[in-house]
Chain A
Amino acid sequence: MRARRNSSLLALAASLHAWAQAPAPSSAEPASVEGMVTHAVSGAPVVRAHVLLRGTARDAKTYGAITTAEGTFAISGIPPGNYYATVDRVGFFMPALPGGRNSVQLSLKAKDKKEDLKLQLAPLGSISGRVVDAKGDPVEGATVTPDTGQGANGQAREVSDDQGRFRLAGLTPGKYRVKAANTTLSSLPSLPEIRTDGTVEVRYVPTYYGGVTDFKSATRVELGTGAEVNGIEIAMVRLPHVRISGRVQGVPAETRVALIFGQVNGGSRSSSGIRKDGTFEVWDIDPGKYVLSAGWTAGDQRVQTSPFEIEIGESHIDRLELRVVPPSDLAGSILFEDEAARPPTPKQGAQQGQAPNMPQGPQGPGMAANRGPRIELRAVDPAIMMVQNSGLSSDVGPEGGFQLKGVAAARYGVTLTWPNAWVKSISLGSQTVEGNVVNLRDGSGGAALTVLVSSAFGTISGKVSDASGPVAGARVVLVSEDWISTGDNSMTVTEETGVYKFPRVRPGKYRIAAIEAGDSAPFMGVLDDYEDIFARVDVRPKDQLTKDLKRHAPIR
């Protein structure tokens, strides 16, 4: 899931990239930088703040300083070049700068003496409250986290004490969904307790502030800069014990099987509760929608059962049958609706959407710089995504032919590596489905895959403004209405004039909104916070839509 978000943020990274790569003039005369760090709210100087200048050139060094009692700092002996300046101090954060940037960019020439670098720090806030049970009694040992839809948010995480109290410290301003999960002894993965004393084991499920168990319905806590919000009481929801049981077919003897409960909204839970006869019984999975799949390793092959959708609530789900659908070898072809949808003939080093400046693993940089056009399949079944990290891809031949081998049974999103075309429809044999998702949960049945692609994108542009006029550096997200299936979203940032543009939009239905800087929920398809300002757009081929957008006043 994180990858989806990152891909949207890459646009921003790429725009900074050109600047970062500007060659450093080679001169021996060093430069110096002086300046001051002030409190973003009070304007007072901040003492013992840590200022960093990070060189952007390869092998460039990083220079640091600590502010004095007057909030000033001085760094000398800096080789000329481009630098990012940041500041940090415990209990503070550096507010985003105009344009959404998180650092000040400096170009230092030989002998430059910059004396007025102004940096700001804003105080972090906290959310405090209590966790209680159905009777209002304190719950000790519940883990409380701010949930942004992408799992935990940084270090803020606390276990409630014997009064049920918690404090989540170190939060930047924003709207938070606060979640409490019972992590005490009773939450060990186990079958419900066998009791002979007539008492009943109580089950509490992870609960959001607002007394609900799902992310979308949670009440959001608004936190201003450096604010301390108190009195957030989370009443844990009590549910009956719930059993999920069934059988996994075709498991070889002596094989360890993992059951994967993949969640559409991110998280997943894995359980190895499979008996020797292939039956399983799992208890007390948190309520919600899941895609269930069992997986194991046979030789060096990873085998998974065909993904199965279940919704876990308050009743047992029994007699599930999980079966293996053999992987498919797909022969396919791409049909070009128009000539302009064809991949550009490879020139020197086609950019395949390669992220610039990405850190490289120990295996060295990607060797794929000069690859030709490719078609990629990315599993959109979350249970499958868990085990099959890398997607599948194939070269596309000059006539549009491709071959995909060993495609596990699942639903896939189909994407192209050349930017001038989008996937309009996909046919598996004689079945045609609009859009870029192909359902291979039952395998391909030997049928060929035909992918119709088009160059007729739409565009969306407009201006973002708030109460005081156009907003520069505002983030605009475009989220597909079919987000759950496709995970499609894009992000752009407004120019100085408040204008944004999505130049290539795959036709379809979308919601579009100007969002707050630190908000990641939209990248999970959740635009609830923007119900009053988002717009719905239906983009048809070659449409050139204009949508002016309003932005909320930022939380201060």
Chain B
Amino acid sequence: MMYLQLQDLLPLYFEESKKQTSEIWGKDLRFEKGEMIKIVAPSGSGKTSLTHFVYGTRSDYSGTISFNGNKTRQFSFENFAGWRKDHFSIVFQDLRLFPEQIVFQNIDIKRQLNPFYPPEKIKEMAERLGIGKKLESKAKTCSYGEQQRVAIIRALMQPFDFLMLDEPFSHLDNVNRQIAMQLMIEEANVRGASIILADLQRVDFFPYTKIFHL
């Protein structure tokens, strides 16, 4: 069974005292594949840091993060590339799209890396999330809410064991949040995967199995 483990984790720039108040920093946690994890994280609690530590884009932390018992700190660049391609998908808070590419290309660049779906699926999902007409527009011309949905669809184009979401709905209205959440839950179920959702407040329509306060 796939699992993600956080042991005694703390950003180097945080005080040791953070370990006392947090349910994640300084704790020994194990997330099994298939669990729905909710992390409630107010501003400044280190939510985005945690996302980057787990994804391997930053390493200024103490403690260990391991995937199936393998410490990610010891991953080579190639290991990380493979891990991101096959096992771990993410929606960043700052989205990270190619601004000059059209929406379809932005999604397809991820899809072709390890295709879980044929390209037709992009249009289907885009229409479901209400951005079907935006597929041929450059990403930089889309509103922030539209870009958020592009990033969500992009994250669903690959196989994964864990899907990590960092404030994925900040610019969506309630209806669109619900539609997007529903799509992600369906996609996680197709893969038997986990969702780790980190947000400022509780998202009511996320059926979490575990909740942590950062």
The reply to whether chain A is a binding partner of chain B is no
Chain A positions near chain B (C-beta within 8 angstroms):
none
Chain B positions near chain A (C-beta within 8 angstroms):
none
